[in-house]
Amino acid sequence: MRFAPLALTVVLLGACSGANDTGSVFPAPDRPVSQAGSNQFSTETQRDSRGEAQTVMELAEIRPGMTVADIGAGNGYYTVRLAEQVGPEGRVLAQDIDQKALGRLARRVERYRLDNVSIRQGEFADPKLPDNSFDRIFMVHMYHEIEQPYEFLWRMWPALRAGGQVIVVDIDRPTDAHGIDPLLLSCEFSRVGFELVAFRDAPELAGYYAQFKATANRPKPGEIKPCRNESMAQG
């Protein structure tokens, strides 16, 4: 699937998406959720100085011509670098729930003349990604902010192409402190139809790198059982 360039347009789908007919049957996570937008990272120059984006793109094997999604794109640190990496024949869809952030990103995309970038507003429980469209989906330092992770991941599952994978960068600390235990992360993904295929601790990423693929089948929403948060149980 190809995305038309939308450098000047933020596609607002939340208001016209219709009723959520399955949301009530998804389980709630057995853990706190970080407050969105309250975690601050170092500047882009500092992140580049430790090779963050380049390291992630190399681990994810990003190649020219790929179609990728940047979930929780914010100001576009990964969006602009992915756009360069996939080249003019590739496509990047930058997604966020913050309309103001997407407006700023749209202006940046226009200023950089990134014709291979489209912008879309998602929802708290639905990334609003088109089916069978992405070679890679990036979720960098944002997964712990998703209020309904099981529903979110379930709705994201069909967006991967055959062989497509999800890339997560996060920090091993409690979810209400802007991180997530990698074992809990892996469990939540597995309950919704994903399988962990790569993991490494990565100080240059201020955390760890995890890579998931979709399994052959996605469970029905009512079949999903929440993972037990052992850190909360022990507390």
Q: For 16-25, write each residue's pLDDT tens digit.
A: 333 344 446 9
CA–CA gap between residue 9 and residue 147 (Å, rounded): 26
The CATH architecture that domain 26-33+40-234 belongs to is 3-Layer(aba) Sandwich (3.40)
Q: Is the pLDDT of residue 234 over 80?
A: no
Residue 12: how many other CB atoms lie within 10 Å: 13
Residue 174: how many other CB atoms lie within 10 Å: 19
Angle between helices 182-191 and 149-156 (to 10 degrees): 60
Lowest-confidence region among 32-36, 95-99, 142-146, 213-217: 32-36
Q: For 43-91, write each residue's pLDDT tens digit.
A: 899 999 999 999 999 999 999 999 999 999 999 999 999 999 999 999 9
Q: Which amino acid is at 210?
A: A
CB 235 within 8 A of CB 175: no
CB 64 within 8 A of CB 135: no
Q: Is the pLDDT of residue 38 over 90?
A: no
Domains of the chain by residue range: 26-33+40-234
Residue 221: how many other CB atoms lie within 10 Å: 18
Please tell me the pTM assigned to this model.
Answer: 0.88
DSSP state for residue 123 in the 8-state scheme: B
CA–CA gap between residue 213 and residue 161 (Å, rounded): 10
Complete edge-to-edge strand list for the sheet that includes strand 194-202: 10-12, 117-121, 91-96, 67-71, 134-140, 160-170, 207-214, 194-202
Average pLDDT, the chain: 88
Longest pairwise C-alpha distance within the chain:
51
Q: Which amino acid is at 139?
A: M
CA 133 to chain centre: 14
Does 233 or 28 have the greater pLDDT score? 28
Q: For 206-217, write each residue's pLDDT tens digit.
A: 899 999 999 999
Task: Enumerate the H helices of 87-216 as residue ranges.
Answer: 99-112, 149-156, 182-191
CB 74 within 8 A of CB 105: yes
What six digits make up the tokens of 18? 């219709």
